[in-house]
């Protein structure tokens, strides 16, 4: 009994001694900043920075003072922390978010044939160019969901992928695997996305998909900021730099192919500041503002579409968004 | 009997159509001639809507050396340069639509009468290219390119491929039985173009009548060899290995071991092109399988719609799958509105019970695919890498040497679509190298 305790304890002590000595003797010298930077990185090893993982990139950005912030997935807070650790300002690009540019769920679209084979959109694409009737539409096998390192894409019950805004870091991994180029990265501040990239004319597209862009051009007409372009053979494209997120296109689109990433916030008028100039009433496209001149105006919340045109035009800063 | 290592023995099923003599497919009222019917650089249409064309007239101009023209299958008027589903890619591709005038008149000067054995090598190659001849076994690689090896490669072996190892198909078999002279004379012309004085014609042992006939008809310099019945005996590299014992190196071509292989149908087309100036506008196709009412071997013009071919053969009977080519390497089609191409060696119609459309499961590492692989690859590893999309690792495992013969998929007890995985990996590696 005693001898076995002594024997095993002795072996344990000896091993600990060897390990302890070798840990000191063979220690790899690592810049402590590197560890701190690594802690700030997302740790998903998605590879979007072009390096072999977060550790490799942390090393690069620590030892190379010229290295720029290549991680698209890092958030504002971490960026600031890393700038502090490294003692230099890391630029970083504007945060992006993925949007799915196809609304053609299986229920709305036709199939050319039944696909049997590996559950990977890229593998399905090489079989006669994919089974979906529309050659631009989502194949729905969920390769984007599979590769997303942040769990930010889930395949919805309708058979289309959905991006979870709060989790998406804009790393672009999904964009690189989608064989049909349906996923697009837009600035996180953007709110509207056209759910169709079909280059077919409306006549060719309509038999294949009930919900695609029919290139009618109404969205481009109603857009007060000239942010939308559309032609007979290109679906509507929103220029995110010009878009002011008024959302008029969403309500005007006859097929409902333009969607909002988040519900627009409605507005209210601060009665104390309002001078009753009536400009807001004139610019409101939804006829949601009414009132008497020289008295405070008020917003009918039921009608307000949250376009924010009134906020931009109000000379007395009397309109604000309702924070819910 | 000569053969190679590996391979499989699927049911031959040739009895459905092998004894049916070739019948002429009647003239159609409209043809859809795809512009791209070959592997290689594209071709550009040289006719426009409203043009009158004659049978054999050039419709497109090849852009580059590895490219061939297409020709009008009959006389008539060009309706439009339209689009039709391409049987290989499954996508809409440009085609020249011709409304036949029913007179079926040859273009001026055709057919010619000339002695190809009095022509120079360059004249022969030019005649073959001008006639739009491509490999008619299905791969559709331009024939004149195969016959123009670079100067540093010495060719000492020419093999006429009459193996026809794909189950069901009998188009080459019927051709050798009914028109042996065209095949043998065409082989003679190719020998001249290659500067060789001997050739071998290789036929699988399941065609004893063709072997006997070829032995009777063949001149002394053309030797007839019997091959063991095994798939893929007719694949170029396996055929060379079986007959000469040489092995085409990894990533190499048959010309690297001094060999050129041409399909029997291609030889016949070469003869027509060189002796009579007739372009490749028709071919022999087996329409077969238990899903078609009357299996037939037909001589059909390129550009004929599949729908018409099926009607001519009595229509469908419980069809579940229509394939252009054979069951092993052919390509399944999703519509009947596609056109017969230069490389359509067969139209196979399978019933539900002839197919195996079931879900696949995990690899059990049994190694049957390794035994079956004629290229001595390890398909099980490739299939697992395919599931993960790991193409770089697959390249290290000689991914690009896979000839996609389908032997591994055929023997896999877990029903794994191994060839599909391989095609997927190849596409990924192509996309990655295109990005760079």
| Cβ-based contacts of A122 with chain B (< 8 Å) | 389, 424, 427-428
A96-260 and A267-321: same fold? yes
Cβ of A126 and B389 within 8 Å? no
CA distances, B219 to each of A190, B1, B93, B215 (Å): 78, 22, 44, 8
Distances (CA, A) of A179 to A1, B26, B200, B208: 68, 42, 45, 49
What angle separates helix A76-86 from helix A54-63, to the nearest 10 degrees?
40
Across the interface, do A118 and B335 touch by the CB < 8 Å criterion?
A: no
Please tell me if residue B391 touches chain A, with a CB cutoff of 8 Å.
Answer: no
Which helix (H) or strand (E) segment holds residue A260: the answer is: strand A258-260
Shortest Cα–Cα distance, A128 to chain B (Å): 4
All structural domains of chain A with their residue ranges? 32-92, 96-260, 267-321
Are A118 and B417 inside 8 Å of each other by CB?
yes
Q: Is B362 an 8 Å CB contact of chain A?
A: no
Alpha helices, H only, B272-390 = 306-312, 368-372, 379-388
Average pLDDT on B315-328 reads 92
Q: Which residue has the higher pLDDT, B156 or A301?
A: B156
* Res A124 pLDDT > 70: yes
Whether the Cβ atoms of residue B227 and residue B205 lie closer than 8 Å to each other:
yes
pLDDT surpassing 70 at residue B163: yes
Q: What is the pLDDT of residues B222-235, one digit of tens each?
A: 999 999 999 999 99
- Rounded to an integer, the average pLDDT of A311-317 is 86
- A→B interface, C-beta within 8 Å: 112-113, 116-118, 120, 122-123, 125-129, 135
pLDDT tens digits, one per residue of A158-176? 999 999 888 888 888 899 8
Predicted local distance difference test score (pLDDT) of residue B68: 93
In angstroms, rounded to a whole number, what is the distance separating the alpha carbons of residues B146 and B127? 14
Q: At which residue do the structure tokens 């028709």 appear?
A: B282
The reported pLDDT for the residue numbered B137 is 85
- With beta carbons under 8 A apart, name residues in chain A contacting B420: 117-118, 123, 126-127
A60 touches A66 (CB < 8 A): no
Least confident of A89-93, A226-230, B113-117, B210-214: A89-93
**Which CATH code fits A96-260?**
3.30.70.20
Mean pLDDT of chain B: 92
Reading the block at residue A160, the tokens are: 């289309």
Superfamily of domain B116-276: NADH-ubiquinone oxidoreductase 51kDa subunit (3.40.50.11540)
Q: What are phi and psi of B237, to 5 degrees?
A: -65, -35
Tokens describing residue A253: 């689109």
Check CB contact of B91 with chain A, cutoff 8 Å: yes
Q: Which residues of A touch B423 (CB under 8 A)?
A: 123, 126
Interface A-B: count of C-beta contacts within 8 A? 45
Domain A32-92: CATH superfamily is Electron transport complex subunit B, putative Fe-S cluster (1.10.15.40)
Query: What confidence tier does A30 reach under pLDDT thresholds 50, 70, 90?
Result: confident
B85–chain A nearest CA distance, Å: 9
Integer Cα distance of B267 and B280 in angstroms: 12
Closest residue, chain A, to B91 (C-alpha)? A129
Residue contact B386–A123, C-beta within 8 A: yes
As given in the structure block, the two tokens for residue A285 are: 């496209």
The pLDDT score that the predictor gives to residue A317 is 87
Of the ranges A237-251, A292-306, B236-250, the best mean pLDDT one: B236-250
Do the Cβ atoms of A122 and B91 come within 8 Å? no
**Tokens found for residue B368:** 């049957």
Q: What share of chain A in percent tops pLDDT 90? A: 33
Q: Which residues of chain B neighbour A135 with C-beta distances below 8 Å? A: 91
Say what the pLDDT of residue B16 is: 92
Average pLDDT over residues A107-122: 91
Query: CB distance from B389 to chain A under 8 Å?
Result: yes
pLDDT at A93: 66
> How sure is the predictor about A73, in pLDDT bands with cuts at 50, 70 and 90?
confident
Task: Judge whether residue B55 has pLDDT over 60.
Answer: yes
Most confident of A16-20, A54-58, A198-202, B154-158: A16-20
pLDDT value at position A92? 64
Testing the interface with B: which of A52, A111, A121, A127 to mutate, by most B Cβ within 10 A? A127
Identify all chain B residues contacting A52, using CB atoms and an 8 Å cutoff: none
- Report the percentage of chain B scoring pLDDT > 70: 100
Note the pLDDT tens digit of each residue in B90-146.
Answer: 888 999 999 999 889 898 888 888 898 988 899 999 999 999 999 998 889 999 999
Return d(Cα B71, Cα B278) in angstroms, integer: 10
**Interhelix angle for B171-178 vs B180-194, to 10°?**
100
Q: Where in chain B is the domain with CATH 3.40.50.11540?
A: 116-276
Predicted confidence at residue A324, as pLDDT, reads: 55
- Kindly report the average pLDDT of chain A as a whole number: 87
Looking at residues A268-289, what average pLDDT do you find? 87
User: Residue A13, exposed/middle/buried by CB under 10 A (0-12, 13-18, 19+)?
Assistant: exposed
Q: Which of B389, B421, B430 to mutate to test the interface with A (most CBs of A within 10 A)?
A: B389
Residue A69 to residue A91: CA distance in whole angstroms: 6
Lowest mean pLDDT segment, chosen from A114-128, A277-291, B343-357? A277-291
Residues of A in contact with B333 (CB under 8 A): 128
How confident is residue A267, by pLDDT bands cut at 50, 70 and 90? Answer: confident
Name the residue among A112, A126, A135 with its Cβ closest to that of B423.
A126
Q: Tokens 């512009």, residue?
A: B35
Among B residues 307-336, those touching chain A with beta carbons less than 8 Å apart: 331-335
Which strands sit side by side in the sheet containing B296-301, from one edge to the other? B22-24, B296-301, B282-288, B346-351, B319-324, B331-333
Q: What's the CATH fold of domain A267-321?
A: Alpha-Beta Plaits (3.30.70)
pLDDT of res. A167 = 87
Instruction: Supply the DSSP symbol for A55.
Output: H
Whether A16 has a pLDDT exceeding 60, the answer reads yes
């Amino acid at each position: 009994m005693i001898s076995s305790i002594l024997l095993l304890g002795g072996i344990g002590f000896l091993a600990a001694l060897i390990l302890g000595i070798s840990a000191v003797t063979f220690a790899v010298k690592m810049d402590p900043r590197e560890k701190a930077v690594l802690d700030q990185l997302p740790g998903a090893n998605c590879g979007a920075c072009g390096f072999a993982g977060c550790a490799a990139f942390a090393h690069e950005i620590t030892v190379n003072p010229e290295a720029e912030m290549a991680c698209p997935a890092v958030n504002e807070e971490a960026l600031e922390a890393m700038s502090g650790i490294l003692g230099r300002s890391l630029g970083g690009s504007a945060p992006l978010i993925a949007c799915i540019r196809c609304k053609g769920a299986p229920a709305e679209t036709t199939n050319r044939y039944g696909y049997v084979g590996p559950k990977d959109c890229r593998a399905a694409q090489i079989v006669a160019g994919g089974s979906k009737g529309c050659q631009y539409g989502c194949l729905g096998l969920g390769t984007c969901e599979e590769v997303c390192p942040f769990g930010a894409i889930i395949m919805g019950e309708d058979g289309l992928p959905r991006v979870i805004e709060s989790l998406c870091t804009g790393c672009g991994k999904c964009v690189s695997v989608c064989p049909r180029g349906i996923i697009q990265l837009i600035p996180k501040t953007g709110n509207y996305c056209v759910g169709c990239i079909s280059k077919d004319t409306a006549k060719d597209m309509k038999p294949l998909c009930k919900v695609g862009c029919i290139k009618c051009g109404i969205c481009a007409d109603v857009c007060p900021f000239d942010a939308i372009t559309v032609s007979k053979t290109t679906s509507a494209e929103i220029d995110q730099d010009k878009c002011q997120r008024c959302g008029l296109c969403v309500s005007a689109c006859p097929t409902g192919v333009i969607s909002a990433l988040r519900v627009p916030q409605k507005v209210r008028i601060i009665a104390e500041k309002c001078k009753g100039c009536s400009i807001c009433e004139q610019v409101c496209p939804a006829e949601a503002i009414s009132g008497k001149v020289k008295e405070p105006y008020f917003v009918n919340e039921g009608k307000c579409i949250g376009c924010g045109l009134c906020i931009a035009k109000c000379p007395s800063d009397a309109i604000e968004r309702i924070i819910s | 009997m000569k053969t190679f290592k590996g391979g499989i023995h699927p049911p031959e099923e040739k009895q459905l159509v092998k004894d049916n003599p070739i019948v002429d497919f009647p003239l159609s009222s409209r043809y859809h001639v795809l512009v791209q019917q070959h592997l290689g650089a594209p071709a550009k249409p040289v006719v426009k809507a409203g043009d009158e064309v004659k049978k054999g007239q050039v419709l497109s101009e090849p852009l580059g050396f590895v490219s061939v023209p297409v020709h009008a299958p009959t006389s008539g008027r060009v309706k439009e340069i339209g689009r039709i589903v391409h049987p290989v890619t499954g996508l809409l591709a440009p085609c020249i639509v011709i409304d036949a005038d029913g007179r079926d008149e040859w273009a001026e000067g055709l057919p010619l009468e000339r002695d190809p054995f009095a022509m120079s090598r360059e004249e022969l190659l030019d005649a073959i290219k001008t006639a739009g001849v491509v490999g008619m076994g299905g791969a559709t690689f331009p024939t004149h390119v195969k016959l123009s090896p670079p100067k540093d490669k010495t060719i000492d072996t020419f093999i006429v491929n009459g193996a026809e190892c794909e189950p069901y198909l009998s188009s080459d078999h019927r051709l050798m039985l009914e028109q042996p002279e065209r095949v043998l004379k065409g082989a003679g012309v190719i020998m001249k173009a290659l500067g060789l004085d001997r050739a071998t014609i290789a036929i699988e042992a399941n065609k004893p009548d063709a072997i006997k006939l070829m032995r009777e008809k063949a001149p002394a310099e053309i030797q007839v060899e019997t091959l063991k019945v095994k798939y893929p005996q007719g694949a170029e590299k396996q055929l060379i290995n079986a007959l000469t014992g040489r092995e085409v190196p990894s990533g190499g071509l048959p010309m690297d071991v001094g060999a050129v292989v041409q399909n029997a149908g291609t030889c016949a087309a070469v003869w027509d092109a060189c002796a009579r100036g007739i372009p490749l506008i028709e071919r022999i196709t087996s329409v077969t399988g238990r899903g078609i009412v009357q299996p037939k071997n037909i001589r059909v013009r390129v550009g004929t719609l599949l729908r018409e071919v099926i009607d001519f053969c009595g229509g469908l009977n419980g069809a579940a799958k229509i394939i252009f080519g054979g069951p092993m390497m052919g390509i399944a089609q999703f519509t009947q509105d596609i056109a017969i191409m230069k490389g359509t060696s067969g139209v196979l119609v399978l019933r539900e019970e002839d197919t195996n459309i079931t879900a696949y499961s995990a690899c059990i590492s049994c190694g049957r695919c390794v035994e079956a692989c004629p290229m001595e690859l390890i398909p099980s590893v490739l299939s697992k890498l395919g599931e993960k999309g790991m193409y770089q690792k697959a390249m290290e495992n000689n991914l690009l040497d896979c000839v996609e013969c389908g032997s591994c998929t055929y023997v896999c007890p877990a029903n794994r679509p191994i060839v599909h995985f391989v095609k997927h990996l190849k596409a990924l590696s192509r996309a990655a190298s295109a990005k760079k």
